[in-house]
Amino acid sequence: MTVHIGAAPGDIAETVLLPGDPYRAKWAAETFLQDAKCVNEVRGMLGFTGTYKGNPVTIHGSGMGMPSLSIYANELIRDYGAKTLIRIGSCGGMQKQVKVRDVIIAMTASSLSTPSSGIFKEFNFAPCADYGLLSAAVAAAKAKGTATHVGGIYSSDVFYDERPDLNEQMTRHGILGVEMEAAELYNLAARYGRRALAVLTVSDHLQTGEALPSEDREKSFGDMVEIALDAAFQD
Ligand code: HPA
């Protein structure tokens, strides 16, 4: 047990998928894992452990935003020994060629600040994905025929953004999409020598204003979960 996770030692697998939404953790575990059992309910942040093709996996909510993800990722890594951490979540598209329902696999995650900014101070650390996981996810997405983009994303501290000028510069510099968690996950993986990746479904688009209809969400999110699971156990 840790401050925020009630799981017993050994109840968390070395491979952890991290959706922001705890109910999506429940849905993904019930849909894609065998013998999934609930291992955490503290503060309603649900976590489940089961197996995928015989491999132990935990799917645990991270909450929204980097401060929340940082709490869970720190405890999963430092107290439960998580070795492979894959964020699965939604993002806003920031390029014309990126369409709603497409998948983005994040090579890097830019940010204005993260919970790790206090360590880096004036240094501009570049948080990046684990290359083995990234290339395995690209192969898994290709095998599924999912429209996929690979490149940089932006981890924002705010959903209701008051800086359209900043979004413009991000788009101009090729950033594919915006979400609120990946940069801190990549920072923590670098700090503790773990593997991390973010696989994201484009749920809305900043330029076109298009949003994924709720009835399409399940299928699109399902593709993303399978890509993450296949990538985790490819090698
Ligand atoms: N901004 C930040 N996070 C998001 C968005 C967005 O537009 N869409 C999905 N997650």
CA 47 distance to own-chain centroid = 15
pLDDT at position 111 is 97
Q: Give the whole-angstrom CA distance, residue 23 versus residue 189.
A: 25
pLDDT at position 218 is 74
Beta carbon of 167 within 6 Å of any ligand 1 atom: no
Beta carbon of 91 within 6 Å of any ligand 1 atom: yes
Residues 6+ apart with CB under 8 A from 24: 61, 88, 221
Residue 62, classed as helix, strand or coil, is coil
Residue-level pLDDT, tens digit, the chain, 235 residues: 899 999 999 999 999 999 999 999 999 999 999 999 999 999 999 999 999 999 999 999 999 999 999 999 999 999 999 999 999 999 999 999 999 999 999 999 999 999 999 999 999 999 999 999 999 999 999 999 999 999 999 999 999 999 999 999 999 999 999 999 999 999 999 999 999 999 999 999 999 999 988 777 777 799 999 999 999 998 6
Query: Which residue, judged by its Cα, is nearest atom 6 of ligand 1?
Result: 92
Q: Give the whole-angstrom CA distance, residue 168 versus residue 43.
A: 37
Instruction: Give the mutation target among 153, 203, 220 for probing the ligand 1 site: most ligand atoms within 8 A of CB.
Output: 203
Beta carbon of 178 within 6 Å of any ligand 1 atom: yes
pLDDT at position 155 is 98
Question: How many angstroms does the Cα of residue 193 sit away from the middle of ligand 1?
Answer: 28
DSSP string, 141-194: HHHHT--EEEEEEEE-S-SS---HHHHHHHHHTT--EEESSHHHHHHHHHHHT-
Cβ atoms of residues 129 and 186 within 8 Å: yes
Nearest atom (ligand 1) to Cα of 180: 3
Which residues carry out catalysis? 204
Question: How many angstroms does the Cα of residue 159 sit away from the middle of ligand 1?
Answer: 6
Q: What is the dihedral of CA 94, 97, 102, 105, to 10 degrees?
A: -70
Query: Which residue, judged by its Cα, is nearest atom 10 of ligand 1?
Result: 91
Query: Which residue, judged by its Cα, is nearest atom 7 of ligand 1?
Result: 92
Question: How many angstroms does the Cα of residue 90 sit away from the middle of ligand 1?
Answer: 7
